[in-house]
Amino acid sequence: MHILITILQRLAYAALLLIAVLVLNFSMMNLAPGDVADTIAASMGGADAELMAHIRSEYGLDQPFLVQLVAYIGRVLSFDLGFSYFYNTPVTDLIFERLPATLLLVVTAQILALVIGVLLGVFSARHPNGIANYFVTFFALFGYAAPVFWTGILLLIAFSLKIPLFPVAGMSDVTVEGNFFVEALDVAHHMVLPVITLGSIFLALYSRLSRASMLEVLGSDYVRTAKAKGLTPREVTLKHALKNALPPVVTLAGLQFSAVISGAVLVETVFSWPGLGQLALTSILARDTPTILGILFFSALVVIIGNLLTDLVMRLIDPRVRGRA
Amino acid sequence: MTKHFKSLLAATALVSIAFTAQAEEPVRGGTLIHAMAQTPRHLNPAVQSGIATGAPGAQLFAAPLRYDEDWTPQPYLAESWGFSDDGLKMTLNLVKGATFHDGAPITSEDVAFSVKTVQENHPFKSMFGVVTSVDTPDEHTAVLNLSQPHPALLLAMSSQLLPIIPKHVYGDGQDPKSHPQNSENVVGSGPFKLVEFTRDQNIVLERYDDFFIEGRPYLDRIVYRIIKDASSRAIGIENGELHMLTFENVVRNIARMKENENLTVTDEGYAAIGALNWLAFNTGSDGPLADKRVRQAIAYAIDKKFILNALMQGISQDAKTGIHPGSPLYDDSVNGYDIDLDKANALLDEAGFPKDANGTRFSLTIDYGNPTTKPQAEFTKASLSKVGIDVSVNSFVDFPTWAQKISNHNFDMTWDTVFNWGDPVIGVHRTYSSDNIKPGVIWSNTQQYKNPKIDDLMAAGAQEIDPEKRKAIYSEFQRILAEDLPVYWTNTLPYHTAYSNKVGNPPLGIWASSSPYDLVYLKE
């Protein structure tokens, strides 16, 4: 019962937050000089006054700001994100067309990074003075500090050009035809480099955090007790220490999930991965307001849901949180 | 490059093409993997200009004429054509038996409909502006009636500008600009038909078996892969994943691809697109730029050789006028403003802008309309400081911001890239015509330049049917402009085509990838 009230409360906040996001984004988009008529003219190599006026009146861009804002909010409240000016397609279609690609990329990268990151963190926390520890620390710092597009291009030069193991761009090869298994394999093949690139940032975060958290827990009294009881180091680490070291990592994972789109923009651009990040970039450059707003709205939604889920998971794995409510 | 040398080059190119055609018989079959740098808005070039739609558009839709390397029109959907003696009628005789991808015959009605659609919806109003009506005396004859002679009409018959679209599909009453069949279920008239168009991924085209030219196209499929990152495209063609890139202009990548012996990298094929880099002046401002001596002084103070050799690394051509050097109308003899600081200083003194105690004459701002011309903007600042002009560089935010600023005449100087689009009437006049000063419209006469003599010359050039007389008119046009200098033209944009040596008959005509690929083939 308690949990239901918490969820309902959260949902109410979320709805208010979403409207605030919409108003803020819409206003900011309107502050920027120029509009989609300019970018359409650019894509055509020129335009005339009549055509640009036509575009502006067709999309209501010649209306006063408040009229546009109210019309937009009204549309969104009736679950209509509008039409993309640039692609002449419903924004919802555009977003859902791209969502699977981004989810596939981000979820795979996250899961791999989480698992490998925690393993590396635990490993280096157990051997804080070993060579391997320095290796892990260095690797993590490097992954965290190196810009993604740079890592991406380097990987491409190494594993696409010098040693041509992986394709340079895209999500699938249209010339590959076969059953589901063949096509899935093709997608997996295309995914390797983008997942490594994107995963390297997350991996760095998780391994550093789980190492720190693990070190803290390993120094606590009950671990010493467990050791004194005569338990094997493995049992101490996995059963006693890790359980208590995990909550911060889970919180971070939840927060990172909200960065689904921001993190993917660069990786998707470098690898021509047809996801939301690329769509966001294209529409920002094209000043395609409905699409940008749609994506921002959607991202806000993902952040809110992500946070809600994180809280729920925390309750499951950490009894202390359950008590507080 | 002298004109003789150029024609010699053209001749050699033709001979070598003829030679390869003889030596190697084109092969049927295969899939050409072609990179594209951006996703087109849709695939119907009749209502969407530009090179992104132009490339797949030229495969999906046939046009009345096509062009070879030396600007000579060749029969395509029109097997013959001609102007009446007074130049007021153009007759197109269509090939017989040509069909759209849905099997319906291509008739003169469709030509009339296409002309009308382009006339009403295409941004380049000057192409068909003088067409008053199109008569269709029979199924295979279309007659365009003109209010005045219009030699640019010949180039406007190219795939990029006049795709023949089916009246029974796009004439159903819906707005052709947002017609659903612009992106899917496209019914075309060209050598390839649409299989699939996935935004930001690929466009897949397949051979149209009933194409009106027997035995063509040679390729089974063309896959355009949309790869926005220039480095990724370069890596893709180097590792053999891609067969062809067009419109590449990142100097560094071009230089690297040139070193690969499996690739041919060339700037041939972009003459009609005619992309030029230039420094535009706001001649309508109250400031010093209203004086042509100041503009000339600025040109004299900028070392163009540095731009060509250092910034562009020798891969773009010198452009002295607003007409692309690859055009037969280009006049190489006009003043190119080789660097001369003494002359620049003298001109500025003469114009009444002496140096003050700090050695500064006046201050100006400079913008640039494309991140790639940032070095040019910074170089301009450095160059002009030598003659006492203090320049501050405005950084580039994004295209709409820049376009708003320039098109509303809120600037002093800006670097810009503008396309010729074949004939001066289509892409050149707009920059200099005094009745095209249109606030809010980018690539109109944003310089606010006015010269009645230039207006007269453009009016005459637009109507002159005789090629020699027309050339003379445009020579004078270029000479006066080079004197008035509303913009200082520096170089062609270094557009390059890179293709694997497996590709036969690459598109090296004047329209690059916006030309039909029915002759392109893949060697075994």
CATH number, domain at B225?
Answer: 3.40.190.10
CB contact under 8 A, B200 and A285: no
User: Which of A160, A279, A287 is nearest residue B239 as measured by Cβ atoms?
Assistant: A160
Q: How far apart are CA A23 and CA A244, in angstroms?
A: 42
User: Which of A42, A270, A278 is nearest residue B200 as measured by Cβ atoms?
Assistant: A278
Higher pLDDT, A27 or A3: A27
CB contact under 8 A, B401 and A33: yes
Q: How confident is the model at residue A324 (pLDDT cuts 50, 70, 90)?
A: low
A325, amino acid identity: A
pLDDT, mean over chain A: 86
Q: How far apart are CA B456 and CA B434, in angstroms?
A: 10
Asked if B365 and B413 count as a contact pair (C-beta separation under 8 A), the reply is yes
CB contact under 8 A, A86 and B124: no
Whole-Å CA distances, A269 to A88, A110, A275, B38: 22, 19, 9, 11
Q: Is B18 contained in some domain? A: no
Contacts of A270 in chain B (CB under 8 A): 229, 232
- Burial degree of B495 (CB within 10 A; 0-12, 13-18, 19+): buried
**B105 phi and psi, to 5 degrees?**
-70, 150
CB contact under 8 A, B123 and A272: no
Three-class DSSP category at B496: strand
User: Which of B183, B236, B441 is nearest residue A49 as measured by Cβ atoms?
Assistant: B441
CB contact under 8 A, A274 and B199: yes
Q: How far apart are CA A169 and CA A189, in angstroms?
A: 11
Among all chains, which residue has been given the structure tokens 């679209």? B165
Among all chains, which residue has been given the structure tokens 């005396």? B137
How high is the pLDDT of residue B179? Answer: 93
User: Which of B198, B200, B232 is nearest residue A270 as measured by Cβ atoms?
Assistant: B232
Q: How far is B429 from chain A (nearest CA, A)?
A: 12
CB contact under 8 A, B226 and A164: no
Work out whether strand B31-36 and strand B221-226 pair parallel, antiparallel, or are unpaired. parallel
Whole-Å CA distances, A249 to A152, A198, A208, B423: 26, 18, 10, 64
User: Which of B41, B233, B430 is nearest residue A43 as measured by Cβ atoms?
Assistant: B41
The count of domains in chain B is 2
Say how many C-beta atoms besides its own lie within 10 A of residue B437's C-beta: 16
Q: How far apart are CA A48 and CA B440, in angstroms?
A: 9
Contacts of B31 in chain A (CB under 8 A): 175
Q: How far apart are CA B440 and CA B383, in angstroms?
A: 31
Higher pLDDT, B507 or A208: B507
Q: CB neighbours of B56 closer than 8 A, spacing ≥ 6?
A: B40, B43, B194, B197, B203, B205, B224
User: Which of A89, A274, A287 is nearest residue B201 as measured by Cβ atoms?
Assistant: A274
Same domain, B241 and B296: no
As a whole number of Å, the end-to-end CA separation of chain A is 11
Rg of chain B taking only CA atoms, in angstroms = 24
Q: How many Cα atoms occupy the beta-carbon half-sphere of A235 within 13 Å? A: 9
Own/partner contacts of B175-179, CB < 8 Å, gap of 24 or more, are: B176/B44, B176/B46, B176/B47, B176/B117, B176/B121, B177/B47, B177/B48, B177/B121, B178/A88, B179/B44, B179/B47
Same domain, B239 and B92: yes
Distance of CA A90 to the CA centre of its chain: 23
User: pLDDT tens, A272-301?
Assistant: 999 988 898 888 888 888 898 898 888 888
A86: nearest CA partner in chain B: B41
How high is the pLDDT of residue B5? Answer: 43
Q: CB neighbours of B267 closer than 8 A, spacing ≥ 6?
A: B315, B316, B317, B492, B494, B495, B496, B497
Cis peptide leading into B328, omega within 30 of 0?
no
Q: How far apart are CA B510 and CA B268, in angstroms?
A: 8
Q: Is B460 contained in some domain? A: yes
As a whole number of Å, the end-to-end CA separation of chain B is 37
Q: How far is A235 from chain B (nearest CA, A)?
A: 48
Among all chains, which residue has been given the structure tokens 């050598």? B191
**DSSP letters along B197-247, please?**
EETTTEEEEEE-TT-SSTT----SEEEEEE---HHHHHHHHHTTS-SEEEE
Contacts of B178 in chain A (CB under 8 A): 88
Q: How confident is the model at residue A260 (pLDDT cuts 50, 70, 90)?
A: low
Q: How far apart are CA A248 and CA B200, in angstroms?
A: 38
Whole-Å CA distances, B20 to A146, B261, B486, B505, B508: 49, 19, 45, 9, 14
Q: Mutate one of B442, B444, B511, B522 to test the A interface: name it (highest A CB count within 10 A).
A: B442
Same domain, B177 and B66: yes
Contacts of A36 in chain B (CB under 8 A): 400
How high is the pLDDT of residue B23? Answer: 53
Contacts of B400 in chain A (CB under 8 A): 32-36, 38-39, 287
Same domain, B502 and B453: no
Residue B246: both structure tokens together: 């067009």
Q: Is B391 contained in some domain? A: yes
Helix intervals (H) in B326-390: 341-350, 374-385
Q: How far is B246 from chain A (nearest CA, A)?
A: 17
Would you tell me which residues 22-51 of chain A have a C-beta closer than 8 angstroms to some C-beta of chain B? Answer: 32-36, 38-49, 51
Higher pLDDT, A254 or B521: B521
Q: Is B353 contained in some domain? A: yes
Q: Is B431 contained in some domain? A: yes
Same domain, B120 and B84: yes
**A111 phi and psi, to 5 degrees?**
-65, -45
CB contact under 8 A, B41 and A34: no
Would you tell me which residues 130-189 of chain A have a C-beta closer than 8 angstroms to some C-beta of chain B? Answer: 153, 156-157, 160-161, 164, 167-171, 174-175
Whole-Å CA distances, A48 to A2, B114, B487: 62, 20, 21
Q: How far apart are CA B333 and CA A30, in angstroms?
A: 49
Asked if A258 and A303 count as a contact pair (C-beta separation under 8 A), the reply is yes
Asked if B368 and B415 count as a contact pair (C-beta separation under 8 A), the reply is yes
DSSP B316: S
How high is the pLDDT of residue B11? Answer: 45
Alpha-carbon torsion (B352, B355, B357, B358), positive or negative: positive
CB contact under 8 A, B441 and A156: no
User: Which of B48, B232, B430 is nearest residue A168 as measured by Cβ atoms?
Assistant: B232
Same domain, B408 and B299: yes
Do you know the residue count of chain A? 325
Asked if A167 and A189 count as a contact pair (C-beta separation under 8 A), the reply is yes
Asked if B391 and B385 count as a contact pair (C-beta separation under 8 A), the reply is yes
CA dihedral B314, B12, B467, B330 (to 10 degrees): 10
User: pLDDT tens, A121-142?
Assistant: 888 888 878 887 888 888 888 8
Residue A202: both structure tokens together: 């997350």
User: pLDDT tens, B169-180?
Assistant: 999 999 998 899
How high is the ipTM of this complex?
0.84
Three-class DSSP category at A276: helix
Q: Is B21 contained in some domain? A: no
Q: How far apart are CA A179 and CA B379, in angstroms?
A: 57
CB contact under 8 A, B124 and A33: no
Q: Is B365 contained in some domain? A: yes
Q: Is B454 contained in some domain? A: yes
Q: Mutate one of A174, A282, A287, A292 to test the B interface: name it (highest B CB count within 10 A).
A: A174
CB contact under 8 A, B49 and A282: no
Q: Mutate one of A39, A44, A173 to test the B interface: name it (highest B CB count within 10 A).
A: A44
Interface size A-B, in CB pairs within 8 Å, comes to 155
User: Which of A39, A49, A168 is nearest residue B440 as measured by Cβ atoms?
Assistant: A49
Q: Mutate one of B177, B199, B270 to test the A interface: name it (highest A CB count within 10 A).
A: B199
Same domain, B474 and B333: yes
**DSSP letters along A74-133, please?**
HHHHTT---B-TTT-SBHHHHHHHHHHHHHHHHHHHHHHHHHHHHHHHHHHHHSTTSHHH
Q: How far apart are CA B154 and CA B68, in angstroms?
A: 13
Three-class DSSP category at B340: coil
Asked if A141 and A204 count as a contact pair (C-beta separation under 8 A), the reply is yes
pLDDT, average across residues A224-233: 87
Do you know the residue count of chain B? 524
Contacts of B226 in chain A (CB under 8 A): 272
User: Which of A42, A49, A170 is nearest residue B399 as measured by Cβ atoms?
Assistant: A42
Is residue A267 predicted with pLDDT exceeding 60?
Answer: yes
B419: nearest CA partner in chain A: A45
Q: How far is A197 from chain B (nearest CA, A)?
A: 15
Residue B242: closest CA among B419, B500, B30: B500
Q: Mutate one of B44, B239, B247, B396 to test the A interface: name it (highest A CB count within 10 A).
A: B239
Same domain, B357 and B470: yes
User: pLDDT tens, B282-334?
Assistant: 999 889 999 999 999 999 999 999 999 999 999 999 999 999 999 999 999 99
Contacts of A158 in chain B (CB under 8 A): none
Three-class DSSP category at B480: helix
Contacts of A171 in chain B (CB under 8 A): 201
Q: How far is B436 from chain A (nearest CA, A)?
A: 9
Residue B492: both structure tokens together: 């062609």
Same domain, B261 and B363: no
Same domain, B488 and B502: no
Q: How far is A255 from chain B (nearest CA, A)?
A: 28
Q: How far apart are CA A111 and CA A67, in angstroms?
A: 45
Residue B216: both structure tokens together: 């063509």
Q: How far is B128 from chain A (nearest CA, A)?
A: 14
Q: How many Cα atoms occupy the beta-carbon half-sphere of B361 within 13 Å? A: 25
Q: State which residues form the domain around B456.
A: 275-492
Same domain, B199 and B161: yes
pLDDT, average across residues A46-56: 85
Q: CB neighbours of B262 closer than 8 A, spacing ≥ 6?
A: B240, B500, B501
Prediction pTM value:
0.88
Q: CB neighbours of B153 closer than 8 A, spacing ≥ 6?
A: B90, B127, B128, B131, B144, B146
The CATH number linked to B362 is 3.10.105.10
**Residues of chain B predicted below pLDDT 70:** 1-23
Higher pLDDT, A264 or B11: A264
User: Which of B48, B125, B400 is nearest residue A35 as measured by Cβ atoms?
Assistant: B400
CB contact under 8 A, A168 and B239: yes
Q: How far is B282 from chain A (nearest CA, A)?
A: 19
How high is the pLDDT of residue A149? Answer: 84
Same domain, B251 and B356: no
**H or E element that contains B510:** none
